[in-house]
């Protein structure tokens, strides 16, 4: 499979963060000027869609599913004190300087364009350029509607991610400051003020609702690396779940299955990776690998122990190597292939969690058992009648289904930001220290890089960036 990547940005205002004091600067990357709806669809692929990189893969180190592999086994040299362990130490221990440097002391964000923040805004600007010009392009109304819908859906996706990296959880303080909403591709010399979490979420919902209104009447196209109708409904269902609008989350999840979304039986799976279009559950394939380190920071033993011994997500999705005993997340592609998905199990689990919250326990249990039968050979349906127990079961199923796919950190935020402990050993022979992220810790909202604050004086640093260094005990 080959992902077509084009750069056609003759009219696109991109977030460059270079030059003088401009926060957003228009930059022409090509003399090719899009004219037709097809041209703009190619522009969107090249400048609006994610490529095979992942700006937020650092959250892999931050949740409760990861552990430093101190007990590197079978005579192999321990990673303790080595470069890879130190490099990601600041993220792993939630340090206030994590946005500015890595654990070996290199300054990583002196150029604002090197930040995850800037990467998402660059793609947002590509979407904005398409949205501003598609209506005047040459082509059929249907072609224009599809391109416009894709641009709206993808822009919403990026703002959702930015809100959950740099803003507080929606269900905690929706009126707190989040990120600026930039909805045009034009350049500006003025500092951009932050919008609230509520305002960013409202924009995300509006974009997605417009997208489905435009796209739903069109034929559904699958496996072409463009976001489609079921994928957009999956995403909207997720947003409503985060906003605790449970009826709406269920309604959007139902539309996924109405539009042909399926659950695949993975119990007879012969391959180790199912995050590809070969899996009929996948509605959209995008982005880069979400696991930036495979052998130093590994899937925690405590988490791996929660899988049923027969669960293919544990037996094939995480492969323990015979020589080193390193548990590799084998479900993730290891090449430069696109590595992330929007797929139907999320619709099912979004719906199940919403059902529990609305006291529709039998409906939630049906969804939970249906999913487990496709993941665990010989699974026998369980009966759960207690609401709290069932809610926990659904959330744990989500944890297993989407482990190491950029889900867990965001989910922990909306679950109330529970306390987390990570162990770390600085050098061989030194004590193993425990680093603690407290309940509702400010570090659940990431700090802005200093260079971003300098470039945009209206941006206000989050409390996590002003905290003292976190000390292990």
- Per-residue pLDDT tens digits for 442-461: 999 999 999 999 999 999 99
Averaged pLDDT for residues 20-32: 38
Whether the predicted pLDDT of 27 surpasses 70: no
pTM for the full predicted model: 0.93
pLDDT digits (tens, 9 = 90+) for 303-331: 999 999 999 999 999 999 887 889 999 99
Whether the predicted pLDDT of 29 surpasses 50: no
pLDDT digits (tens, 9 = 90+) for 41-76: 999 999 999 999 999 999 999 999 999 999 876 556
Whether the predicted pLDDT of 134 surpasses 90: yes
Distance of CA 192 to the CA centre of its chain: 25
| pLDDT for position 273 | 87
Which CATH code for domain 61-112+147-466?
A: 1.25.40.390
Whether the predicted pLDDT of 396 surpasses 50: yes
Which residues make beta-bridge pairs with 342? 284
**pLDDT band at residue 270 under the 50/70/90 scheme:** confident
């Amino acid at each position: 499979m080959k992902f077509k990547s084009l750069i056609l940005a003759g009219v696109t205002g991109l977030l460059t963060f270079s030059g003088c004091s401009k926060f957003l600067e228009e930059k022409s990357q090509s003399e090719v000027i899009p004219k037709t709806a097809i041209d703009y669809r190619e522009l969107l692929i090249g400048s609006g869609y994610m490529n095979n990189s992942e700006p937020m893969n650092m959250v892999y180190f931050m949740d409760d599913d990861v552990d430093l592999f101190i007990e590197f086994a079978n005579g192999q040299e321990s990673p303790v004190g080595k470069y890879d362990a130190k490099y990601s130490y600041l993220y792993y221990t939630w340090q206030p300087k994590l946005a500015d440097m890595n654990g070996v002391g290199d300054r990583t964000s002196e150029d604002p364009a090197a930040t995850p923040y800037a990467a998402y805004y660059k793609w947002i600007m590509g979407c904005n350029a398409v949205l501003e010009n598609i209506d005047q392009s040459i082509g059929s109304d249907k072609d224009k509607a599809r391109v416009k819908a894709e641009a709206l859906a993808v822009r919403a996706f990026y703002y959702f991610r930015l809100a959950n990296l740099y803003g507080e959880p929606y269900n905690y303080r929706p009126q707190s400051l989040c990120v600026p909403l930039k909805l045009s591709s034009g350049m500006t010399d003025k500092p951009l003020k932050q919008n609230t979490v509520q305002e960013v979420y409202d924009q995300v919902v509006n974009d997605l609702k417009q997208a489905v209104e435009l796209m739903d009447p069109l034929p559904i196209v699958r496996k072409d690396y463009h976001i489609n109708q079921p994928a957009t409904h999956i995403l909207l269902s997720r947003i409503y779940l985060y906003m605790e609008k449970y009826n709406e989350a269920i309604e959007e999840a139902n539309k996924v299955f109405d539009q042909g979304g399926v659950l695949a039986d993975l119990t007879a799976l012969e391959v180790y990776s199912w995050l590809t279009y070969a899996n009929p559950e996948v509605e959209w394939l995008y982005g880069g690998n979400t696991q930036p380190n495979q052998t130093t920071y590994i899937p925690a033993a405590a988490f791996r122990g929660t899988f049923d011994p027969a669960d293919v997500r544990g037996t094939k999705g995480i492969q323990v190597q015979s020589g080193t005993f390193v548990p590799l997340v084998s479900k993730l592609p290891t090449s430069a292939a696109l590595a992330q998905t929007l797929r139907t199990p999320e619709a099912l689990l979004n719906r199940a969690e919403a059902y529990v919250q609305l006291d529709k326990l039998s409906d939630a249990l049906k969804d939970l058992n249906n999913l487990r039968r496709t993941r665990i050979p010989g699974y026998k349906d369980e009966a759960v009648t207690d609401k709290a127990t069932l809610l926990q079961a659904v959330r744990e199923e989500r944890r297993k289904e989407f482990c190491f796919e950029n889900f867990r950190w965001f989910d922990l935020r909306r679950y109330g930001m529970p306390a987390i402990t990570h162990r770390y050993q600085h050098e061989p022979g030194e004590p193993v220290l425990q680093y603690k992220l407290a309940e509702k810790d400010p570090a659940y909202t990431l700090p802005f890089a200093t260079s971003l604050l300098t470039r945009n004086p209206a941006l206000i640093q989050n409390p996590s960036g002003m905290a003292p260094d976190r000390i292990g005990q």
